[in-house]
């Protein structure tokens, strides 16, 4: 891929400085996205069929968790993101721009970096499902039981998708549309039809056997840990914000997409989770979190309805849907990080993009980071016995949640600053209800965020004592390191600014300065020569014949000097490509 350097120069930064807009010389971004294209990208980031087994493991509690999470967290996040994304001047950069403009550049950088980090962990979770689907298709159990094989499989998928995303957002939108239709909508519809046929033909209702109520026991902290899974299912709705400036009508399209997505996600997740819970016993779910949805199709269509080909087709479609989700996530955070590089918070080489406006270096580093997490999480599977991917899956989910929730905490705090200190900023969308309504929505979202963050560090009721030790220790250590990383990088921003001028650029600047000095000297000589010519002309007119002759010779001499000086000016100006206007 050929690269070209962005013309936006790094901004001088301070701890309280706000993120700056890209310079006037930045490449213009084409308005290529309509409603369905943007909806598909956002839906691919948020909605995932592979999470249904995690929902189902809570029994009827899933209804409570999905409704509570949807109303008190998902909707507030979507509405807050919709309002902040349509503030004039905040169209690019996503949460980096929003939080940086309200809390300061340091916190904006931390927020976008947390988003970048959490999705690097989340990729592993997503690919775990793809490996489970492939294991079913090819009858190769090692793909979801052998930690080494899983590590290699995740790495291959992530790196392959990374290279496909270097073609730009237009390609991402096409992949997301196909993935949303084939990998989300079609499987959910088939799942619902299969459930109806399953129950109609006398299939066992395992959900009824659990005999649990809809409202969970709040005294059981282990059960509440599962709520983190439901929050993760709704997380990421704001991550498509860097694409807002690619929308044809952002002020209308963005809020509309958020509202439609909220309703659809709550409904489909509730139905999908219930379908899996009805068709599978809890013991099967606990052993195969990353494989459960395929087992549900097997229970419906292979065991009960004797249509064994259906699960194979669904495994392919579900895998394509997850691959589309990964594709949508790869570009979003990296595009936002490009804004931080243009503001001088990352080394200047991160401002380089290919012809599609993609920061290739950022994507490569992201893939490297995913590979590291791949090793950590597959290692946790080996330490816990290596017989099941559930501990790695739950650790990946937990780590993704606790990192991301820190970013959401900053998002809601930043929104409160916007509401109370920047009421005059022009925006295309307002949360209904005035200041009171805004505070209610944002307050609910912030409280749920903080509560979920605390609960996420408690042991899971779905793991053994040995696995829980691995789960909690891995979670705490990785979270502490990741929270500190963006502040360490931010503290080095002045070093990045000093690196902005390479040796070649410095030599070129020296040459230009020397050329400017020579130009100034030549222009001075030209001015003096013209003055001598003018004096000589006056002398010719008023003196005697002899004196006029001497004056004419002096004038000719002065004209030669003036001509030489003028040639020097043209030569210096033309050869050095400089002018005083520059």
Would the pLDDT of 580 be above 50?
A: no
The residue with tokens 């219930």 is 274
pLDDT value of residue 441: 93
Would the pLDDT of 261 be above 80?
A: yes
pLDDT value of residue 321: 80
pLDDT value of residue 420: 93
Is residue 582 classed exposed, middle or buried when 0-12, 13-18 and 19+ CB atoms within 10 A define those classes?
A: exposed
Helix (H, G, I), strand (E, B) or coil at 338: helix
Q: Which residue has the higher pLDDT, 578 or 548?
A: 548
pLDDT value of residue 21: 45
Looking only at the bridges linking them, the beta strands covering 3-5 and 352-354 are antiparallel
Dist. CA 375–CA 458, nearest whole Å: 23
Judge whether 394 and 124 are in contact, CB under 8 Å. Answer: no
Give me 137's structure tokens.
């298709």
Please report how many Cα atoms fall inside a 13 Å half-sphere around the Cα of residue 348, on the Cβ side: 19
Q: How far is CA 479 from CA 112, 259, 377, 472, 482, in A?
A: 16, 32, 13, 10, 5
267: Cα separation from own chain's centroid: 25
pLDDT value of residue 193: 92
Q: Which helix (H) or strand (E) holds 354?
A: strand 352-354
Q: Which of 365, 457, 369, 445 is nearest to 413 (CA)?
A: 445
Quick one: what percent of the chain has pLDDT higher than 90?
Answer: 11
DSSP 264-289: HHHHHHHHHHHHHHHHS-HHHHHH-T
Q: What is the pLDDT of residues 513-526, one digit of tens each?
A: 566 666 677 667 77
Q: How far is CA 160 from CA 40, 453, 556, in A?
A: 21, 33, 75
- Section 50-67 average pLDDT: 80
Would the pLDDT of 410 be above 90?
A: yes
Q: Which residue has the higher pLDDT, 113 or 282?
A: 113
Q: In sequence order, which residues have a C-beta less than 8 Å from that of residue 91 and are 6 or more positions away? A: 85, 97, 244, 245, 250
Would the pLDDT of 397 be above 50?
A: yes
The residue with tokens 């950069």 is 93
Would the pLDDT of 431 be above 80?
A: yes
Highest mean pLDDT among 128-132, 199-203, 473-477: 199-203
Helix (H, G, I), strand (E, B) or coil at 187: helix
Low-confidence winner among 171-175, 252-256, 281-285, 538-542 (lowest mean pLDDT): 538-542
Angle 75-85/390-421 helices, nearest 10 degrees? Answer: 50
Judge whether 461 and 54 are in contact, CB under 8 Å. Answer: no
Dist. CA 456–CA 291, nearest whole Å: 23
Number of Cβ within a 10 Å radius of residue 500: 14
Would the pLDDT of 574 be above 70?
A: no
Would the pLDDT of 134 be above 80?
A: yes
């Amino acid at each position: 891929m050929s690269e070209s350097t962005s013309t936006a120069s790094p901004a001088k930064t301070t701890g309280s400085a706000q993120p700056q807009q890209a310079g006037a010389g930045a490449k213009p971004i084409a308005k290529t996205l309509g409603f369905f294209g943007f909806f598909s990208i956002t839906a691919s980031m948020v909605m995932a069929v592979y999470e249904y087994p995690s929902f189902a493991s809570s029994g009827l509690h899933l209804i409570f968790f999905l409704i509570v999470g949807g109303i008190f967290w998902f909707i507030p996040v979507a509405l807050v993101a919709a309002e902040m994304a349509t503030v004039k001047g905040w169209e690019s950069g996503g949460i980096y721009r929003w939080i940086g403009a309200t809390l300061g550049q340091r916190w904006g950088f931390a927020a976008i970096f947390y988003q970048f980090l959490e999705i690097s962990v989340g990729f592993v979770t997503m690919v775990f499902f793809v490996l489970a689907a492939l294991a079913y298709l090819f009858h190769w159990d090692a793909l979801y039981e052998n930690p080494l094989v899983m590590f290699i499989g995740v790495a291959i998928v992530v790196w392959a998708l990374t290279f496909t995303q270097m073609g730009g957002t237009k390609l991402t939108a096409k992949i997301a549309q196909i993935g949303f239709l084939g990998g989300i909508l079609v499987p959910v519809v088939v799942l619902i039809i299969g459930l109806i046929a399953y129950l109609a033909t006398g299939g066992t209702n395992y959900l009824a056997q659990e005999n649990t109520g809809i409202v969970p026991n709040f005294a059981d902290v282990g059960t509440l840990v599962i709520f983190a899974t439901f929050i993760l299912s709704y997380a990421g709705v704001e991550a498509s914000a860097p694409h807002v400036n690619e929308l044809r009508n952002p002020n209308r399209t963005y809020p509309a997409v958020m509202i439609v997505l909220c309703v659809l996600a709550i409904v489909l997740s509730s139905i999908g989770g219930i379908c899996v819970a009805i068709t599978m016993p809890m013991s099967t779910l606990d052993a195969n979190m990353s494989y459960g949805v395929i087992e549900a199709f097997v229970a419906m269509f292979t065991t009960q309805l004797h249509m064994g080909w259906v699960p194979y087709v669904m495994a392919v479609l579900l895998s394509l849907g997850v691959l589309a989700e990964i594709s949508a996530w790869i570009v979003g955070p990296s595009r936002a990080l490009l804004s931080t590089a243009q503001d001088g918070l990352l080394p200047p080489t991160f401002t380089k993009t290919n012809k599609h406006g993609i920061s290739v270096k950022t994507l490569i580093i992201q893939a490297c980071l995913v590979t590291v997490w791949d090793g950590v999480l597959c290692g946790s599977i080996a330490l816990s016995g290596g017989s099941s991917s559930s501990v790695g899956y739950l650790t990946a989910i937990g780590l993704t949640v606790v990192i991301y929730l820190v970013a959401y905490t900053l998002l809601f705090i930043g929104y409160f600053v916007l509401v109370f200190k920047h009421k005059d900023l022009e925006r295309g969308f307002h949360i209904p209800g005035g200041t009171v309504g805004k505070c209610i929505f944002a307050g609910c979202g912030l409280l749920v965020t903080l509560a979920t963050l605390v609960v996420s560090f408690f042991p899971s009721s779905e793991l053994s004592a040995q696995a829980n030790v691995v789960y909690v220790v891995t979670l705490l250590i990785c979270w502490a390191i990741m929270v500190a990383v963006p502040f360490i990088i931010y503290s080095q921003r002045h070093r990045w600014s000093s690196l902005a001028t390479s040796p070649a650029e410095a030599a070129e600047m020296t040459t230009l300065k020397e050329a400017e000095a020579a130009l100034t000297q030549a222009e001075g000589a030209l001015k003096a020569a013209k003055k001598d010519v003018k004096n000589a002309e006056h002398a010719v007119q008023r003196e005697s014949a002899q004196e006029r002759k001497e004056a004419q010779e002096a004038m000719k001499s002065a004209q030669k000097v003036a001509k030489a000086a003028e040639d020097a000016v043209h030569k210096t100006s033309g050869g050095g490509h400089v002018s005083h206007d520059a």
